[in-house]
Amino acid sequence: MRLPSRIWPAIVVCALGLISLASSGEAREGDDGSRAGSTKIWPQIAYPSARAIRGTQRFAAERGDVAFAVLEPYSGLRGYDPDRQFSSASVTKAMLLAAELRRLREEDEPLDAGTRGLLEPMITLSDNGAADSIYARVGDDGLEEVARRAGMTDFVATPGFWGGDQITAADVARFFYRLDANLAGPHHAYAKGLLARITSSERWGIPEVIDSGWTVWFKGGWRPAERENTSGPVTHQAALLEHRGGERLALAVLSAELPGSGGGFSAITGVAGRLLANAPPNRDGWPVP
């Protein structure tokens, strides 16, 4: 039987609608390695907005020694000079944490009191002696393996000096965006909790500018100018941020500025404050991707 020609457009529209519904329920893989499947897709509204990104880029360009990268699901990685390399300072301690968890898991060792006594001050107080001890266990190979698994394409280890490793804002944002995968294993909750319990004297920058709707896991790093055998002063901070409404992003700000309220601290506050000044968009109950 031949159908009237006027019927065919309606049949085509119905078929396309069924295909669209089927494809919207397929599982998708995110940058954090997670799988998400739903019959609804979040409205693809980039946060921070393009306007906020442009304003922050102008701020960073005016300072001349600041780079930043923000990573979120809709626009991917955006920023200013995100591939510029900096000496890492204490930002590497978050990678040391990941490397030690991996070592414990691979060597089937417990997270004993001695190890906790190193990891906790290394992260929450940024204790350099504790970091030296963890570095002696994992070495450059351990750090490089963490970087490889985290997708840090420009990480360069400095043999014998964890604080001199070369990092970029893009790579550090990738590490923090995949934080759950990087700290995977039986001690995941413990390790991630350390990055949420940074001592109050070091909660400048990103934690200062966010409101109570955000949860933040972060690590900062800085080095004064007078430190010998280094590339000079730096002040850095990187974080994973999750909003109670479901928004999720990673932010890394690196600078060659002196630590302090008139230097690197204000640079990081200036970047984070401009990017996060407005609340995340209201996505009206759509499921998180």
* Model pLDDT for residues 256-286, shown as the tens digit of each residue: 999 987 789 999 999 999 999 999 987 655 5
Residues 192-217 pLDDT 10s = 999 999 999 999 999 999 999 999 99
Residues 83-100 pLDDT 10s = 999 999 999 999 999 999
Q: Check if CATH label 3.40.710.10 holds for domain 50-275.
A: yes
Mean pLDDT of the chain: 86
Domain residue spans in the chain?
50-275
Average pLDDT rounded to a whole number, residues 138-142? 98
pLDDT score at 9: 45
Q: Which residue has the higher pLDDT, 224 or 208?
A: 208
Whole-structure pTM value: 0.83
Q: How confident is the model at residue 253 (pLDDT cuts 50, 70, 90)?
A: very high
Res 68 pLDDT > 80? yes
Token pair of 244 as six digits: 């109670």
pLDDT score at 224: 85
pLDDT score at 46: 87
pLDDT score at 83: 98
Average pLDDT rounded to a whole number, residues 31-60? 74
Q: How confident is the model at residue 230 (pLDDT cuts 50, 70, 90)?
A: low
